[in-house]
Amino acid sequence: MKKAVMGHEDEFSLYIKWNGARREEFPDEDDCIKAMLRILKDRYHTKLFGGERGDFFAPLERRMSGSQEMNHWFYLDEADEATVPQGWDRDAPDYFTKNARLPKLGDDFYSRAGVIVPSLGRVYREASAPYLECATWTGSDPFELCRLVLRGQEIAARLAGFISTDEYVVQCFNAVSDRRGLEAKSCGMHDNHRMRRDTYDELTQTSRLYRSIKNSPWDIEIPIPTRMTRDFLSFKVLARILSGAGKIGHDCEDSLPAHYQISERANFIEQELGYLTTHYRPLLNLRDEPHADRRFWARLHDINGEGNRSPWSIIFGSGLTSIFLMALEDDAIDLDWHLAFPVRSFQALSRDLELNQDVWIIDRNGMIESTEKPLVLFGKILAQLQECCGRSSVPSWCATVVGEAQQAVGYLREGDPEGKASEMLDWKIKKRIIEFQMRRMHLDPQNPHDWLHPKLKLLDLSYHCLYGAGIRIWDNWFASGNVRDYARYANTELSDEALFNVCAAEETSAFVLSLLAADSNLRARSDILNWSVVELWNNSPEERVRIFLDDPAKFNKAFLSAGLEGNFDFSSESQRARLIEFLRTASGDIAQIRYSGELFS
């Protein structure tokens, strides 16, 4: 049976609210993040991600330049020669030779590193902006991943509370954006999915025809998507019906009056596929960092997640994507159409709150254009995924997720008369909260101009407040029983000790990383260099052995339990030696790590 492997990354923006202190005494966001990481390291004895090397906190003052950030996209080929992704200019001034590049990455290593929280994953400062970022352990199903995502939100909230004082409050948000512009808080929510190498290469393989990107600072060209890519793009656009987080305003078209839209990301998507994620937010990111043996596995880095707070929007966002990728691997997707204009369709769909506007599609041969309703199209995709779930090769949770998705689409198709979709989907939940407040303010939800009221924009942002005054908006709505299954996945009742220190990952290779961070006998005798490379020793660091976790689904709790005969007591020297030897013999060939930035990403 297949095993899904998926992870999630959340960026949290911070806002320091004045309570009477002199403004010049305020900390900035970097000071807050540094204090948060210091608490994790000193109070909860978390490990450093990347190893115990040098002064961890001082380099937080530095920033990665754009050229250094781009270096993570360059990789080494089989001959250890640096290569450039298709479409990039090898002679561009931002390109570094192999020997010149690695020291630059090393200089800023710790600004990207952060700490390992055993119950969650990695907490760190986002490289290019002062955001606190939480990257979860990989999970084997979207329900497990949902618990980790909400745990990351709870950890970020508690850290903000820890560093708040009587003079100022450090408010914490998971909003994707609160308006376009240089001063906007445009966070990122990213999903990651393990894929078989051959399927990934086929998905990202493109035809030899190219078209130029207008206004590109590098004047590069992007390839035209192939059939499998078109299928995936069509799915990603239509699936936002269930995973959108909702937002007031239409930043992508100034001529439209401010109103409400389904997706927070639709305003910023400008490209179907590409590498330039910070400039164009492509629907399909072509960056390949597998964190595994690249001969067999790849990692799909899905960059356009939403600032979800409702469990079912999180589950639909990650779960349906994982099922669709499994179906691609099984060659079980056979759409006879695809969206004609994915980017424009994404933006139009986001503004279609009733989901009844026609969407342009093209038949498989690219000859006939027609239109169809978005819920009808998405229903056809879900029907094929349902057939895929009937096979024994996919995990049992797939049928549950697809079944719930079909029910949610049914609610939407009927106009949601009983409000069931409005208890599951973030954009519906947020819309109900805002409309409830509008009626209290004697505003008309049917009048687009009434949505311009400044208090409503604050309410929109407050929906994403994890710590601070705005948290009452979500808490009150949840307490009224208006969010389905939130208590089932939330971590608000956990003690600080349980929230920060438990070893939570069990079904994927993250179990090894979590174990090294949680077990006091291993924590001081190991380094976690990245998501797939660790170093262990028994008595002295000079004895260190490097381990390559070559398959993200392999080194789980059951795998280790079988190899160690169920003994997870590492207090004795002999048992630690047994663990090291077992991991060494079971791990992959360390020479298969070919990415120049692998140890620094």
Q: What is the pTM of this model?
A: 0.87
Concatenated DSSP letters of 93-105: TT---HHHHHHHH
Please indicate, yes or no, whether residues 318 and 346 belong to a single structural domain of this protein: yes
With 80 as the cut, is the pLDDT of residue 494 above it?
yes
With 50 as the cut, is the pLDDT of residue 568 above it?
yes
With 80 as the cut, is the pLDDT of residue 214 above it?
no
pLDDT category of residue 226 using cuts at 50, 70 and 90: confident
As a whole number, mean pLDDT of residues 391-413 equals 95
Please indicate, yes or no, whether residues 281 and 236 belong to a single structural domain of this protein: yes
As a whole number, mean pLDDT of residues 207-212 equals 44
Is 579 contained in some domain?
yes
With 60 as the cut, is the pLDDT of residue 56 above it?
no
Residue 233 · residue 398 · CB < 8 Å: no
Q: What is the pLDDT of residue 482?
A: 92
With 80 as the cut, is the pLDDT of residue 573 above it?
yes
As a whole number, mean pLDDT of residues 161-167 equals 91
Is 84 contained in some domain?
no
As a whole number, mean pLDDT of residues 138-163 equals 96
Q: Are strands 337-339 and 297-302 parallel, antiparallel or unpaired?
A: unpaired
Domain count, the chain: 2
Please indicate, yes or no, whether residues 539 and 473 belong to a single structural domain of this protein: no
Give me 183's structure tokens: 């001063």
Is 421 contained in some domain?
yes
Q: What contacts 289, CB < 8 A, 6 or more positions away? A: 72, 299, 301, 595, 597, 598, 601
Between 210 and 114, whose confidence is greater? 114
Domain boundary among 451, 468, 496: 496
Question: CA 572, CA 7: separation in Å to the nearest integer?
Answer: 33
Residue 308 · residue 187 · CB < 8 Å: no
Q: How many residues does the chain have?
A: 601
pLDDT category of residue 161 using cuts at 50, 70 and 90: very high
With 60 as the cut, is the pLDDT of residue 520 above it?
yes
Domain boundary among 447, 468, 496: 496
Q: What is the pLDDT of residue 311?
A: 98
Three-state secondary structure call for residue 456? helix
pLDDT category of residue 554 using cuts at 50, 70 and 90: very high
Please indicate, yes or no, whether residues 514 and 457 belong to a single structural domain of this protein: no
Please indicate, yes or no, whether residues 467 and 530 belong to a single structural domain of this protein: no
Please indicate, yes or no, whether residues 378 and 230 belong to a single structural domain of this protein: yes
Lowest-confidence segment of 100-109, 204-213, 470-479 by average pLDDT: 100-109
Q: What is the pLDDT of residue 274?
A: 81
Average model confidence (pLDDT) across the chain = 83
Residue 111 · residue 30 · CB < 8 Å: no
Between 51 and 161, whose confidence is greater? 161
With 70 as the cut, is the pLDDT of residue 80 above it?
no
Q: Which residues pair with 317 in a beta bridge?
A: none
As a whole number, mean pLDDT of residues 524-529 equals 93
Question: CA 209, CA 207: separation in Å to the nearest integer?
Answer: 5
Question: CA 118, CA 275: separation in Å to the nearest integer?
Answer: 32
Domain boundary among 496, 526, 546: 496
With 90 as the cut, is the pLDDT of residue 107 above it?
no
Between 479 and 537, whose confidence is greater? 537
Please indicate, yes or no, whether residues 511 and 486 belong to a single structural domain of this protein: no
Burial of 54 by CB count in 10 Å (0-12 exposed, 13-18 middle, 19+ buried)? exposed
- pLDDT, one tens digit per residue, over 291-339 is 899 889 999 999 889 999 999 999 999 999 999 999 999 999 989 999 9
- pLDDT, one tens digit per residue, over 228-245 is 999 999 999 999 999 999
Radius of gyration of the chain (CA): 24
As a whole number, mean pLDDT of residues 167-190 equals 74
Lowest-confidence segment of 70-84, 224-238, 259-273, 548-562 by average pLDDT: 70-84
Between 56 and 12, whose confidence is greater? 12
Is 76 contained in some domain?
no
Angstrom CA distances, 599 to 90, 136, 288, 545, 548, stand at 23, 18, 14, 16, 12
- pLDDT, one tens digit per residue, over 253-297 is 655 666 899 999 888 888 888 876 766 788 998 887 888 998 899
pLDDT category of residue 216 using cuts at 50, 70 and 90: very low
Q: Is the dihedral of CA 130, 132, 138, 141 positive or negative?
A: negative
Please indicate, yes or no, whether residues 443 and 520 belong to a single structural domain of this protein: no
Strands, E, within 307-346: which ranges? 337-339
Q: Which residues pair with 190 in a beta bridge?
A: 9
Is 514 contained in some domain?
yes
Nearest alpha carbon to residue 545 among 593, 505, 518, 583: 583
Residue 234 · residue 376 · CB < 8 Å: no
Is 444 contained in some domain?
yes
Domain containing 14 equals 6-64+108-496
Is 71 contained in some domain?
no
- pLDDT, one tens digit per residue, over 411-452 is 999 999 999 999 999 999 999 999 999 999 999 999 988 998
Please indicate, yes or no, whether residues 471 and 591 belong to a single structural domain of this protein: no
Q: What is the pLDDT of residue 222?
A: 53
Is 528 contained in some domain?
yes
pLDDT category of residue 94 using cuts at 50, 70 and 90: very low
Please indicate, yes or no, whether residues 436 and 579 belong to a single structural domain of this protein: no
Lowest-confidence segment of 331-335, 397-401, 477-481, 594-598 by average pLDDT: 594-598
Please indicate, yes or no, whether residues 459 and 540 belong to a single structural domain of this protein: no
| 527 φ, ψ (degrees, to nearest 5) | -130, 135
Burial of 216 by CB count in 10 Å (0-12 exposed, 13-18 middle, 19+ buried)? middle
Please indicate, yes or no, whether residues 332 and 291 belong to a single structural domain of this protein: yes
